[in-house]
């Protein structure tokens, strides 16, 4: 898998992960590291999406019919992920790049596996062939109260956000469960604090992974 590094930022809707992922990319670029895919250096990758087919699937997932059967939803997220892994993540990691993802497999485990009740192991099994060894070296979960998250979400709510706070509460519990289950890889960061304080913690967690690299 080359000497690339995969870092994922996760959490409930409105936890601030897009802001933090962008700040992390900036900090890594400032260190002279080869960040993001070669075709779009310096950028954050987002899930679902990040490839033409993945963006089309995203449209179905977030702006399509209100009700999707839980396994339909799970497999569509996994399909978008398979495309991203094959076309962007594997080539990027093989080329030694540092890739920052705004959501990845843990979102499926927390939303579909835990919150929808399909089971973390069952959802992991569906994703395993798509992801293979392209697992994150580090996953930062930004922990915020569900009310904070929904309060921050601006603009038109997507299909998942429209389901409201009960789902977000289960998702938050799901991420806490994942952090207990994979303590080596997943780290919780208190996302209720000012942006700069959260960013400092995220950068400190990432630093050992890029030690000795860059300029
Ligand atoms: P995202 O665009 O990151 O939403 P936001 O920017 O509002 O946080 O993610 C889209 C939605 O898809 C979000 O509600 C979480 C959900 N999701 C899943 O349910 N499973 C998954 O595997 C992924 C990647 C996202």
By alpha-carbon position, which residue is closest to atom 5 of ligand 1?
A: 13
Residue 151: CB atoms within 10 A of its CB come to 12
Residue 1: per-residue pLDDT: 55
Give the rounded percent of residues in the chain with a pLDDT score beyond 90: 85
CA 134 to chain centre: 13
How does pLDDT run across 71-100, given as a tens digit for each residue? Answer: 999 999 999 999 999 999 999 999 999 999
Give the separation between CA 63 and CA 66, rounded to whole angstroms.
Answer: 8
**Phi (first) and psi of residue 46, to 5 degrees:** -125, 150
Residue reference for tokens 């900036």: 26
Ligand 1 test: best mutation among 8, 16, 111, most atoms within 8 Å of CB?
111
Give the residue, by CA position, lying nearest to ligand 1 atom 19: 111
Q: pLDDT averaged over the chain?
A: 94
Domain boundaries, the chain: 5-212
**Edge-to-edge strand order for the sheet containing 5-10?**
45-46, 98-102, 5-10, 138-143, 186-190
Ligand 1 neighbour 48 (Cβ under 6 A): yes
Residue 208 CA, ligand 1 centroid: distance in Å: 28
CATH of 5-212, one of 3.40.50.300, 3.40.50.1220, 3.40.50.720, 3.40.50.2300: 3.40.50.300
Closest ligand 1 atom to residue 171 Cα is 19
Confidence band of 24 (pLDDT split at 50, 70, 90): very high
For 123-136, the pLDDT digits (tens) are: 999 999 999 999 99
Q: Which atom of ligand 1 is nearest to the CA of 78?
A: 22
- pTM as predicted: 0.96
Is pLDDT at 51 greater than 90 in this prediction? yes
Index of the ligand 1 atom closest to the CA of residue 13: 8
């Amino acid at each position: 898998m080359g000497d690339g590094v995969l870092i994922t930022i996760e959490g409930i809707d409105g936890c601030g992960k897009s802001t933090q992922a962008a700040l992390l990319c900036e900090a890594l670029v400032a260190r002279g590291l080869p960040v993001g895919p070669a075709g779009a250096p310096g950028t954050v990758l987002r899930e679902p999406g990040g490839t033409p087919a993945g963006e089309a699937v995203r449209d179905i997932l977030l702006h399509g019919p209100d009700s999707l059967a839980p396994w339909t939803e799970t497999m569509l997220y996994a399909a978008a992920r398979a495309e991203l892994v094959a076309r962007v993540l594997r080539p990027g990691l093989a080329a030694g790049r540092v890739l920052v993802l705004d959501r990845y497999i843990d979102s499926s485990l927390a939303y579909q596996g835990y919150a929808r009740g399909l089971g973390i192991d069952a959802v992991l099994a569906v994703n395993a062939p798509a992801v293979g060894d392209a697992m994150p070296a580090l996953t930062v979960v930004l922990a915020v109260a569900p009310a904070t998250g929904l309060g921050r979400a601006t603009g038109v709510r997507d299909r998942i956000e429209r389901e409201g706070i009960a789902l977000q509460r289960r998702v938050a519990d799901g991420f806490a469960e994942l952090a207990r289950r994979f303590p080596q890889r997943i780290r919780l960061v208190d996302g209720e604090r000012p942006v700069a304080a959260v960013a400092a913690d995220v950068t400190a967690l990432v630093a050992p992974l890029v030690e000795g690299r860059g300029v």
